[in-house]
Amino acid sequence: MNRMQIVCLDLEGVLVPEIWIAFAEKTGVEALRRTTRDEPDYDVLMRHRLGILAEHGFTLSQIQEVIATLEPLPGSLDFLDKLRFKYELIILSDTFSQFAGPLLEQLNRPTLFCHELEVDDDDYITDYRLRIPDHKCKTVQHLQKLNFEVIAAGDSYNDLGMLKTADHCIFFCPPDSLAAEYPDVPVAREHPELLAHIEALSS
């Protein structure tokens, strides 16, 4: 019996801009430009970010103000609409629920699994809580246990667990270093190309 196909996508860098880069550009703090495309260890990256936020006294509201100015990447909404017409879809992201809302609204509210920030009474981000450790990979594993055939696409080192575990995987605009490390993974540079890769797996 054929398994139902489900698509798992990363959010930032695939459907929407990188939030931390946008905040770095707004504040001029270049150290905040570092993302999962540069740092494979997510906890190291988040401790780095939290330290910089504390050093400069940045609040959650200041980050949310920048997020409110962002728009989805060109072509991503049309891509999602076409994708959802044919496939089940889950967004698996290492972003935070306090960040994602305005961008999800612009994408017509796809299902998102992500993490939570801990914020004190003065609006300072004090820590973060993972939904579960290695949540992208584990979500794929559980979908497979439910007899789904998983197609996954992402752009960064933190997507590798999801990509390696999925039945089919595709890079979307990865850094050259990542694509070079995994030459067998197909690469899409535009959303129509990504959609074509996914649809080819159904033919």
What letter represents residue 149's amino acid?
Answer: E
Catalytic residue positions?
A: 10, 12
Instruction: Convert 62-83 to b/e letters by CB count within 10 Å (16 or more is b).
Output: ebbebbeebebbeebbebbeeb
Rounded Cα distance, 121 and 109, in Å? 29
The overall pTM is greater than 0.85? yes
Task: Specify the number of domains making up the chain.
Answer: 1
CATH number at residue 61: 3.90.1470.10
- Per-residue confidence (pLDDT) for residue 37, from 0 to 100: 81
pLDDT value of position 1: 54
Residue 203: its pLDDT value, please?
64
pLDDT attached to residue 35: 86
- Going from the C-alpha of 104 to that of each of 54, 73, 138, 198, the distances in angstroms are 27, 12, 23, 22
pLDDT value of position 22: 96
Task: Write down the pLDDT at residue 3.
Answer: 85
What's the DSSP call for residue 185? S
- How many whole angstroms separate alpha carbon 189 and alpha carbon 120? 40
- For every one of its 203 residues, what pLDDT tens digit does the chain have, with 9 covering 90 and above? 578 999 999 999 999 999 999 999 999 999 999 988 888 888 999 999 999 999 999 999 999 999 999 999 999 999 999 999 999 999 999 999 999 999 999 999 999 999 999 999 999 999 999 999 999 999 999 999 999 999 999 999 999 999 999 999 999 999 999 999 999 999 999 999 999 999 999 86
Tell me the residue range of the domain where 181 lies: 4-200
35, 156 in Cβ contact below 8 A?
Answer: yes
**Main-chain phi, psi angles of 195, to 5 degrees:** -60, -40
